[in-house]
Structure 1
Amino acid sequence: MKVGLLFGSFNPIHIGHLIVANFMATNTDLDAVWLVVSPQNPFKPSNTLLHEFDRLHMVSLAIGDNPRLRVSNIEFSMPRPSYTIDTLTYLQERYPSYEFVLIMGEDNLPLFPKWKNADRILEYHRVYVYPRSGSITTELPVMPNMRFVKAPVLDISATFIRKCIKEEKSIQYIVPDAVAEYIKVHKLYQ
Protein backbone atom coordinates (compact mmCIF):
# COMPACT_ATOMS: atom_id res chain seq x y z
CA MET A 1 0.00 0.00 0.00
CA LYS A 2 1.31 3.46 -0.94
CA VAL A 3 0.34 6.06 1.68
CA GLY A 4 0.82 9.80 1.44
CA LEU A 5 1.50 11.59 4.71
CA LEU A 6 0.25 15.16 5.01
CA PHE A 7 1.68 16.56 8.24
CA GLY A 8 0.21 19.65 9.83
CA SER A 9 -0.84 21.51 12.91
CA PHE A 10 -4.35 21.71 11.45
CA ASN A 11 -5.08 24.64 13.74
CA PRO A 12 -7.84 24.41 12.45
CA ILE A 13 -8.14 22.13 9.44
CA HIS A 14 -9.67 23.90 6.45
CA ILE A 15 -10.82 23.16 2.92
CA GLY A 16 -7.34 23.85 1.52
CA HIS A 17 -5.94 20.91 3.53
CA LEU A 18 -8.84 18.69 2.47
CA ILE A 19 -8.59 19.57 -1.22
CA VAL A 20 -4.85 18.81 -1.27
CA ALA A 21 -5.31 15.54 0.64
CA ASN A 22 -8.19 14.36 -1.54
CA PHE A 23 -6.44 15.47 -4.74
CA MET A 24 -3.31 13.53 -3.80
CA ALA A 25 -5.36 10.46 -2.86
CA THR A 26 -7.37 10.45 -6.09
CA ASN A 27 -5.08 11.98 -8.74
CA THR A 28 -1.71 10.38 -8.00
CA ASP A 29 -0.51 6.82 -7.49
CA LEU A 30 -1.26 6.99 -3.74
CA ASP A 31 -3.75 4.52 -2.29
CA ALA A 32 -4.56 6.73 0.68
CA VAL A 33 -3.54 9.91 2.47
CA TRP A 34 -3.09 10.10 6.21
CA LEU A 35 -3.41 13.54 7.79
CA VAL A 36 -0.84 13.46 10.59
CA VAL A 37 -1.69 15.90 13.37
CA SER A 38 1.57 17.32 14.69
CA PRO A 39 1.49 18.24 18.39
CA GLN A 40 4.35 20.70 17.89
CA ASN A 41 6.11 21.82 14.73
CA PRO A 42 9.80 22.60 15.41
CA PHE A 43 9.52 25.72 13.23
CA LYS A 44 6.34 27.16 14.80
CA PRO A 45 5.61 28.55 18.27
CA SER A 46 3.29 26.27 20.26
CA ASN A 47 1.57 29.04 22.24
CA THR A 48 -1.08 29.54 19.51
CA LEU A 49 -1.89 25.84 19.16
CA LEU A 50 -5.17 24.43 20.31
CA HIS A 51 -4.90 21.22 22.36
CA GLU A 52 -3.88 18.36 20.06
CA PHE A 53 -6.97 16.27 20.84
CA ASP A 54 -9.26 19.12 19.71
CA ARG A 55 -7.26 19.42 16.48
CA LEU A 56 -7.34 15.64 15.98
CA HIS A 57 -11.11 15.57 16.50
CA MET A 58 -11.64 18.41 14.02
CA VAL A 59 -9.60 16.55 11.37
CA SER A 60 -11.71 13.46 11.99
CA LEU A 61 -14.89 15.52 11.62
CA ALA A 62 -13.55 17.13 8.45
CA ILE A 63 -12.66 13.93 6.59
CA GLY A 64 -15.89 12.21 7.60
CA ASP A 65 -16.34 8.89 5.86
CA ASN A 66 -13.90 9.47 2.97
CA PRO A 67 -12.33 6.00 2.55
CA ARG A 68 -9.13 7.40 1.01
CA LEU A 69 -8.36 9.77 3.92
CA ARG A 70 -7.42 8.94 7.50
CA VAL A 71 -6.43 10.99 10.52
CA SER A 72 -3.34 9.95 12.48
CA ASN A 73 -2.22 10.79 16.01
CA ILE A 74 1.06 8.88 15.61
CA GLU A 75 3.14 11.83 16.82
CA PHE A 76 1.19 12.25 20.07
CA SER A 77 3.26 9.52 21.74
CA MET A 78 6.58 10.59 20.24
CA PRO A 79 9.15 13.06 21.67
CA ARG A 80 8.45 16.74 21.05
CA PRO A 81 8.96 18.67 18.94
CA SER A 82 8.07 16.21 16.19
CA TYR A 83 10.62 15.54 13.48
CA THR A 84 9.41 14.12 10.18
CA ILE A 85 12.31 11.68 9.81
CA ASP A 86 11.52 10.12 13.21
CA THR A 87 7.85 9.72 12.34
CA LEU A 88 8.67 8.22 8.94
CA THR A 89 11.13 5.78 10.54
CA TYR A 90 8.60 4.75 13.18
CA LEU A 91 5.82 4.26 10.62
CA GLN A 92 8.09 2.23 8.32
CA GLU A 93 8.98 -0.06 11.22
CA ARG A 94 5.33 -0.39 12.25
CA TYR A 95 4.05 -0.96 8.68
CA PRO A 96 6.96 -2.63 6.84
CA SER A 97 4.89 -3.52 3.76
CA TYR A 98 3.70 0.08 3.22
CA GLU A 99 5.47 2.72 1.17
CA PHE A 100 5.20 6.14 2.81
CA VAL A 101 5.35 9.30 0.72
CA LEU A 102 5.80 12.72 2.28
CA ILE A 103 3.38 15.36 0.95
CA MET A 104 4.46 18.95 1.44
CA GLY A 105 3.70 22.42 0.20
CA GLU A 106 6.13 24.21 -2.07
CA ASP A 107 6.45 26.93 0.59
CA ASN A 108 8.32 24.43 2.79
CA LEU A 109 11.10 23.85 0.23
CA PRO A 110 13.37 26.71 1.37
CA LEU A 111 13.43 25.28 4.92
CA PHE A 112 13.62 21.64 3.84
CA PRO A 113 17.46 21.44 3.91
CA LYS A 114 17.27 22.53 7.59
CA TRP A 115 14.95 19.67 8.52
CA LYS A 116 16.45 16.97 10.70
CA ASN A 117 18.08 14.40 8.36
CA ALA A 118 16.52 15.89 5.22
CA ASP A 119 18.98 13.89 3.12
CA ARG A 120 17.74 10.63 4.69
CA ILE A 121 14.13 11.59 4.00
CA LEU A 122 14.97 11.94 0.30
CA GLU A 123 17.10 8.82 0.29
CA TYR A 124 14.40 6.51 1.68
CA HIS A 125 11.10 8.23 0.82
CA ARG A 126 9.45 9.97 -2.07
CA VAL A 127 8.33 13.56 -1.56
CA TYR A 128 5.30 14.92 -3.43
CA VAL A 129 5.32 18.71 -3.53
CA TYR A 130 2.16 20.70 -4.24
CA PRO A 131 2.08 24.39 -5.24
CA ARG A 132 1.30 27.10 -2.68
CA SER A 133 0.10 30.59 -3.42
CA GLY A 134 2.89 33.13 -3.11
CA SER A 135 5.66 30.53 -3.00
CA ILE A 136 8.97 31.81 -4.26
CA THR A 137 10.77 29.43 -6.57
CA THR A 138 13.63 28.05 -4.56
CA GLU A 139 17.23 27.49 -5.47
CA LEU A 140 16.94 23.82 -4.61
CA PRO A 141 17.95 21.50 -7.42
CA VAL A 142 15.44 18.92 -8.56
CA MET A 143 16.05 15.92 -6.34
CA PRO A 144 15.60 12.30 -7.42
CA ASN A 145 12.79 11.36 -5.05
CA MET A 146 10.96 14.70 -5.28
CA ARG A 147 7.92 15.00 -7.54
CA PHE A 148 6.03 18.23 -8.20
CA VAL A 149 2.28 17.66 -8.45
CA LYS A 150 0.03 20.21 -10.14
CA ALA A 151 -2.65 20.33 -7.47
CA PRO A 152 -5.19 23.16 -7.06
CA VAL A 153 -3.80 26.29 -5.39
CA LEU A 154 -5.85 27.91 -2.63
CA ASP A 155 -4.78 30.92 -0.62
CA ILE A 156 -6.27 29.93 2.75
CA SER A 157 -4.45 29.83 6.05
CA ALA A 158 -5.35 28.72 9.55
CA THR A 159 -4.01 32.08 10.77
CA PHE A 160 -6.61 33.88 8.64
CA ILE A 161 -9.36 31.59 9.97
CA ARG A 162 -8.36 32.21 13.60
CA LYS A 163 -8.36 35.96 12.91
CA CYS A 164 -11.87 35.75 11.43
CA ILE A 165 -13.12 33.88 14.50
CA LYS A 166 -11.61 36.45 16.88
CA GLU A 167 -13.23 39.23 14.87
CA GLU A 168 -16.55 37.31 14.83
CA LYS A 169 -16.54 37.02 11.04
CA SER A 170 -17.94 34.07 9.12
CA ILE A 171 -15.77 31.05 8.36
CA GLN A 172 -18.53 29.30 6.42
CA TYR A 173 -17.22 27.45 3.35
CA ILE A 174 -13.61 27.91 4.54
CA VAL A 175 -13.87 25.03 7.01
CA PRO A 176 -16.27 22.08 6.82
CA ASP A 177 -19.61 22.69 8.55
CA ALA A 178 -18.89 20.07 11.22
CA VAL A 179 -15.60 21.83 12.09
CA ALA A 180 -17.26 25.25 12.20
CA GLU A 181 -19.92 23.86 14.54
CA TYR A 182 -17.28 22.25 16.79
CA ILE A 183 -15.38 25.56 17.00
CA LYS A 184 -18.61 27.43 17.81
CA VAL A 185 -19.89 24.98 20.44
CA HIS A 186 -16.53 24.78 22.22
CA LYS A 187 -15.81 28.52 21.86
CA LEU A 188 -12.40 27.87 20.31
CA TYR A 189 -9.97 30.53 19.06
CA GLN A 190 -11.86 33.38 20.77
Structure 2
Amino acid sequence: MNSSGLVGVFGGSFDPPHLGHAEVASSFWENFPNAKELLIVPNHTSPWKKNKKTPPDMILDLVQAQFQSFPNTKVWDWEIKRETPSYTDETILELLKVMPGAKLCLLIGEDNYSEFHKWKNWENILNKLDYLLVFRRFSESIPQNQNLQKFKDKIVFLRNRIIEAASIDLREELPKCILENRKPVALSDKVWDIILKNRSYC
Protein backbone atom coordinates (compact mmCIF):
# COMPACT_ATOMS: atom_id res chain seq x y z
CA MET A 1 0.00 0.00 0.00
CA ASN A 2 1.47 3.33 -1.11
CA SER A 3 0.74 5.86 1.63
CA SER A 4 2.85 8.67 0.17
CA GLY A 5 0.74 11.81 -0.10
CA LEU A 6 -2.20 10.24 1.73
CA VAL A 7 -4.47 12.57 3.74
CA GLY A 8 -6.30 11.04 6.70
CA VAL A 9 -9.68 12.43 7.73
CA PHE A 10 -10.75 11.72 11.31
CA GLY A 11 -14.13 13.21 12.23
CA GLY A 12 -16.38 13.04 15.26
CA SER A 13 -17.94 15.02 18.06
CA PHE A 14 -14.74 15.16 20.19
CA ASP A 15 -16.96 16.37 23.03
CA PRO A 16 -14.57 16.04 24.80
CA PRO A 17 -11.57 14.50 23.01
CA HIS A 18 -9.96 11.68 24.97
CA LEU A 19 -7.09 9.20 24.93
CA GLY A 20 -9.06 6.80 22.74
CA HIS A 21 -9.05 9.46 20.02
CA ALA A 22 -5.33 9.98 20.53
CA GLU A 23 -4.72 6.24 20.13
CA VAL A 24 -6.48 6.32 16.75
CA ALA A 25 -4.15 9.10 15.60
CA SER A 26 -1.15 7.13 16.87
CA SER A 27 -2.31 4.05 14.99
CA PHE A 28 -2.77 6.05 11.80
CA TRP A 29 0.80 7.35 11.90
CA GLU A 30 2.21 3.94 12.84
CA ASN A 31 0.48 2.37 9.83
CA PHE A 32 1.00 5.25 7.41
CA PRO A 33 4.25 7.00 8.39
CA ASN A 34 4.63 8.47 4.89
CA ALA A 35 1.19 10.07 4.83
CA LYS A 36 1.01 13.77 4.03
CA GLU A 37 -1.17 14.76 6.97
CA LEU A 38 -4.01 13.82 9.29
CA LEU A 39 -7.00 16.16 9.52
CA ILE A 40 -9.05 16.17 12.72
CA VAL A 41 -12.59 17.30 11.82
CA PRO A 42 -14.90 18.03 14.77
CA ASN A 43 -18.52 18.22 13.72
CA HIS A 44 -21.12 20.76 14.77
CA THR A 45 -24.04 18.34 14.97
CA SER A 46 -24.09 14.68 14.06
CA PRO A 47 -27.18 13.56 12.10
CA TRP A 48 -27.39 10.65 14.57
CA LYS A 49 -27.07 12.57 17.84
CA LYS A 50 -28.57 15.43 19.80
CA ASN A 51 -27.23 18.97 19.50
CA LYS A 52 -24.07 19.69 21.43
CA LYS A 53 -24.15 21.90 24.50
CA THR A 54 -20.41 22.59 24.44
CA PRO A 55 -19.57 25.77 22.47
CA PRO A 56 -17.66 25.21 19.20
CA ASP A 57 -14.73 27.40 20.30
CA MET A 58 -14.29 25.29 23.42
CA ILE A 59 -14.29 22.05 21.44
CA LEU A 60 -11.73 23.48 19.01
CA ASP A 61 -9.47 24.45 21.94
CA LEU A 62 -9.76 20.97 23.43
CA VAL A 63 -9.13 19.21 20.12
CA GLN A 64 -6.10 21.38 19.43
CA ALA A 65 -4.70 20.53 22.85
CA GLN A 66 -5.31 16.80 22.37
CA PHE A 67 -3.64 16.47 18.99
CA GLN A 68 -0.97 19.18 18.96
CA SER A 69 1.83 16.75 19.77
CA PHE A 70 1.25 14.65 16.64
CA PRO A 71 3.32 15.47 13.54
CA ASN A 72 1.53 16.78 10.46
CA THR A 73 -1.81 16.65 12.27
CA LYS A 74 -4.14 19.61 11.85
CA VAL A 75 -7.60 20.61 13.05
CA TRP A 76 -9.97 21.49 10.21
CA ASP A 77 -12.92 23.56 11.47
CA TRP A 78 -15.14 23.53 8.36
CA GLU A 79 -17.83 21.26 9.82
CA ILE A 80 -18.06 22.78 13.28
CA LYS A 81 -18.36 26.33 11.95
CA ARG A 82 -21.24 25.49 9.58
CA GLU A 83 -23.77 25.15 12.43
CA THR A 84 -25.66 22.45 10.53
CA PRO A 85 -25.69 18.64 10.71
CA SER A 86 -22.44 17.22 9.37
CA TYR A 87 -22.68 14.78 6.47
CA THR A 88 -19.48 13.07 5.43
CA ASP A 89 -20.25 13.20 1.70
CA GLU A 90 -20.41 17.01 1.88
CA THR A 91 -17.18 17.14 3.87
CA ILE A 92 -15.33 14.96 1.35
CA LEU A 93 -16.60 17.11 -1.55
CA GLU A 94 -15.42 20.27 0.21
CA LEU A 95 -12.02 18.74 0.96
CA LEU A 96 -11.55 17.83 -2.69
CA LYS A 97 -12.30 21.45 -3.60
CA VAL A 98 -9.69 22.67 -1.13
CA MET A 99 -7.23 19.89 -1.98
CA PRO A 100 -7.91 18.87 -5.60
CA GLY A 101 -6.55 15.45 -6.45
CA ALA A 102 -5.84 14.55 -2.81
CA LYS A 103 -5.61 10.88 -1.84
CA LEU A 104 -8.13 10.75 0.99
CA CYS A 105 -8.70 8.08 3.60
CA LEU A 106 -11.52 8.25 6.13
CA LEU A 107 -11.07 6.90 9.66
CA ILE A 108 -14.19 5.46 11.31
CA GLY A 109 -14.87 3.25 14.30
CA GLU A 110 -16.14 -0.29 14.03
CA ASP A 111 -19.64 0.83 15.14
CA ASN A 112 -19.87 3.30 12.26
CA TYR A 113 -18.43 0.73 9.87
CA SER A 114 -21.23 -1.71 10.67
CA GLU A 115 -23.78 1.00 9.80
CA PHE A 116 -21.87 2.66 6.97
CA HIS A 117 -24.30 1.48 4.28
CA LYS A 118 -26.98 3.59 6.02
CA TRP A 119 -25.00 6.81 5.68
CA LYS A 120 -26.17 9.46 3.25
CA ASN A 121 -24.60 8.84 -0.20
CA TRP A 122 -22.33 6.18 1.26
CA GLU A 123 -21.32 4.74 -2.11
CA ASN A 124 -20.35 8.20 -3.38
CA ILE A 125 -18.15 8.61 -0.31
CA LEU A 126 -16.32 5.34 -0.94
CA ASN A 127 -15.92 6.10 -4.63
CA LYS A 128 -14.06 9.30 -3.71
CA LEU A 129 -11.82 7.72 -1.06
CA ASP A 130 -8.57 5.87 -1.57
CA TYR A 131 -9.11 3.96 1.67
CA LEU A 132 -11.63 3.50 4.46
CA LEU A 133 -9.67 2.90 7.67
CA VAL A 134 -11.64 1.13 10.38
CA PHE A 135 -10.40 1.30 13.96
CA ARG A 136 -11.40 -0.91 16.85
CA ARG A 137 -13.45 0.43 19.73
CA PHE A 138 -14.57 -2.77 21.45
CA SER A 139 -13.70 -5.86 19.43
CA GLU A 140 -10.56 -7.93 19.04
CA SER A 141 -11.57 -8.51 15.42
CA ILE A 142 -14.14 -6.55 13.42
CA PRO A 143 -16.86 -8.49 11.55
CA GLN A 144 -17.07 -7.70 7.84
CA ASN A 145 -19.96 -5.51 6.69
CA GLN A 146 -21.19 -7.50 3.70
CA ASN A 147 -23.00 -4.45 2.31
CA LEU A 148 -19.57 -2.96 1.52
CA GLN A 149 -18.25 -6.07 -0.20
CA LYS A 150 -17.62 -4.45 -3.58
CA PHE A 151 -15.37 -1.89 -1.88
CA LYS A 152 -13.38 -4.48 0.10
CA ASP A 153 -10.09 -3.53 -1.61
CA LYS A 154 -10.41 -0.03 -0.14
CA ILE A 155 -11.10 -1.13 3.44
CA VAL A 156 -8.22 -1.44 5.92
CA PHE A 157 -8.70 -2.61 9.51
CA LEU A 158 -6.36 -0.94 11.98
CA ARG A 159 -4.95 -2.90 14.93
CA ASN A 160 -5.14 0.04 17.28
CA ARG A 161 -4.93 -0.46 21.01
CA ILE A 162 -8.42 -0.48 22.53
CA ILE A 163 -8.85 2.21 25.18
CA GLU A 164 -12.06 2.20 27.19
CA ALA A 165 -13.24 5.75 26.73
CA ALA A 166 -16.41 7.36 25.43
CA SER A 167 -17.22 11.05 25.21
CA ILE A 168 -20.82 10.50 26.30
CA ASP A 169 -19.66 8.83 29.53
CA LEU A 170 -17.11 11.55 30.17
CA ARG A 171 -19.75 14.27 29.82
CA GLU A 172 -21.77 12.59 32.55
CA GLU A 173 -18.75 12.07 34.78
CA LEU A 174 -17.09 15.46 34.41
CA PRO A 175 -19.30 17.65 36.67
CA LYS A 176 -18.42 15.51 39.70
CA CYS A 177 -14.77 15.22 38.63
CA ILE A 178 -14.48 19.00 38.37
CA LEU A 179 -16.09 19.45 41.78
CA GLU A 180 -13.60 17.00 43.29
CA ASN A 181 -10.66 18.20 41.15
CA ARG A 182 -10.21 14.59 40.00
CA LYS A 183 -9.00 14.01 36.45
CA PRO A 184 -10.72 11.16 34.58
CA VAL A 185 -8.25 8.51 33.47
CA ALA A 186 -9.37 8.84 29.85
CA LEU A 187 -8.41 12.53 29.58
CA SER A 188 -4.97 13.91 28.82
CA ASP A 189 -3.46 16.45 31.21
CA LYS A 190 -3.71 19.22 28.60
CA VAL A 191 -7.40 18.62 27.92
CA TRP A 192 -8.16 18.35 31.63
CA ASP A 193 -6.36 21.62 32.39
CA ILE A 194 -8.53 23.49 29.85
CA ILE A 195 -11.73 21.91 31.14
CA LEU A 196 -10.81 22.70 34.74
CA LYS A 197 -9.80 26.28 33.97
CA ASN A 198 -12.99 27.04 32.06
CA ARG A 199 -15.28 24.95 34.28
CA SER A 200 -16.54 23.28 31.10
CA TYR A 201 -19.12 20.49 31.38
CA CYS A 202 -20.37 21.69 34.76
TM-score (norm 1): 0.89
In structure 1, what is the equivalent of residue 165 of structure 2?
156
Partner of 1:32: 37
Q: Are 1:67 and 2:79 counterparts?
A: no
Counterpart in the other structure of 1:132 = 137
Query: Which stretch shifts more, 93-102 or 168-177?
Result: 168-177
Aligned counterpart, 2:153: 144
- The 8 Å contact of residues 107 and 136 in structure 1, kept in 2 or not, is answered as no
Matched position secondary structure for 1:167: helix
Q: Is the 8 A contact 1:40 1:82 kept in 2?
A: yes
Match of 2:46 in 1: 41
1:8, 1:37 within 8 Å by CA — same for their partners in 2?
yes
TM-score scaled by length of structure 2 = 0.85
Q: In the TM superposition, what is the alpha-carbon distance from 1:157 to its structure 2 partner? A: 0.6
1:1-190 → structure 2 map (5 Å cutoff) = 1-28=5-32, 30-46=35-51, 48-78=52-82, 80-125=84-129, 126-133=131-138, 137=143, 139-140=145-146, 141-142=148-149, 143-168=152-177, 170-190=182-202
SS in structure 2 of the partner of residue 104 of structure 1: strand
User: What is the CA-CA distance between 1:94 and the residue it aligns to?
Assistant: 1.1
Structure 2: gaps (5+ residues): none
Percent identity for Structure 1 against Structure 2: 26
CA distance in 2, matches of 1:13, 1:72: 15
Measure the CA separation in 2 of the matches of 1:21 and 1:189.
Answer: 25
For the residues of structure 2 that align with 1:21 and 1:151, how far apart are their CA atoms? 9
Structure 1 gap segments, 5+ residues each: none
1:91-113 deviations in Å (ceiling 9; x for gaps): 01111142111000011123211
